[in-house]
Amino acid sequence: MEKITRNDPCWCGSGKKYKTCHMAFDEMLDNYEDQGYLITPYEYIKNEEQIEGIRKSGIATTEILDVVESKIKAGMTTEEINTIVHEETLKRGGTPAPLGYQGYPKSTCTSINEVICHGIPSENHIIKDGDIVNVDVTTILNGYYADASRMFMIGEVSPEAKKIVEVTRESVEKAIKALKPWGDLNEVGRTIEPFVKSHGYSVVRALCGHGVGVEFHEEPQVDHYSSKEKGYLLIPGMTFTIEPMINQGTFDCIILEDKWTVVTKDKKLSAQWENTVLVTETGIEILAR
């Protein structure tokens, strides 16, 4: 492919000459790449129209989780939670992204106690007093995706269960505060892992966060454990999830025979919170929580 020159039309489709549009931006990215940063492909750097679409999808996702929060209780089945998510998604003009994704059979994931993630809702799974439950919602609205999950403490939970839920939530909040435009995405793991380890917990390594917005799963990969290496450069317009899975015991996990449900190897508790965030010119905006 012939290299674009200063006076050629810009690759972005703006109709402007390259030198007055994206040339300085591209040169800056080349400089960061020379320093060892990874650069997210251009197709995953969102424009204003895309950001607004993802923002609206994020509002819907957050509202759906608010409805779940108002209704979830002991005695419900996880299938009932799935019905709530499905109906509330359709009510907002959206589509539940998990339904049919790579064969996944439901509209949400419901992960209880030792289930790390991807628990499949069922009429046979009854939520009990003392359970901690993660409900994961991804909405497609007008072609745009937003992804979030919350932990719910049902009735009287043990002090140990309450602690891991609260520490996991705090780890996400700390990670978001640690990020800044033109910084390093690996600050997510450098912030989360030492914090949760100080409470005696481990970070699941086999699963990660991800870019999201125009597709369900995009670049970049978001690791929640520490790395000394430089990661992806935080470019304004990037949208991705931060979703650490924190275990009471070992970070090792097992996938059950259904090929979806991931559980802790030692059967100890696990917790997860997930936000979709946007890198702006001035900071980090939470789009779905």
Token pair 């049919």: residue: 100
- Give the pair of three-digit tokens for residue 243: 């979703």
Packing angle, helices 159-178 and 187-197, rounded to 10? 150
Alpha helices in 36-158 (DSSP H): 48-71, 78-91
Domain contains 12:
no
The tokens for 58 are 């994020």
Dist CA 137 CA 165 (whole Å): 18
Residue 236 lies in a domain: yes
The torsion angles phi and psi of 110, rounded to 5 degrees, stand at -125, 110
Domain assignment present for 33: yes
In a domain, 106, yes or no: yes
Which one, of 142, 166, 182, 237, lies nearest residue 35 by Cα? 182
pTM value is: 0.94
* CATH number for the domain that contains residue 73: 3.90.230.10
Q: How many domains does the chain have?
A: 1
Specify which residues 38 forms β-bridges with: 232
2 within some domain: no
Q: What pLDDT score was predicted for residue 2?
A: 59
Whether 1 maps to a domain, the answer reads no
Q: What are phi and psi of 221, to 5 degrees?
A: -80, 140
Digits of tens for pLDDT over the chain (289 positions)?
A: 457 899 999 988 788 999 999 899 899 999 999 999 999 998 999 999 999 999 999 999 999 999 999 999 999 999 999 999 999 999 999 999 999 999 999 999 999 999 999 999 999 999 999 999 999 999 999 999 999 999 999 999 999 999 999 999 999 999 999 999 999 999 999 999 999 999 999 999 999 999 999 999 999 999 999 999 999 999 999 999 999 999 999 999 999 999 999 999 999 999 999 999 999 999 999 999 9
- Which residue range forms the structural domain that includes residue 268? 18-288
Tell me if 128 is assigned to some domain.
yes
On whether residue 207 sits in a domain, the answer given is: yes
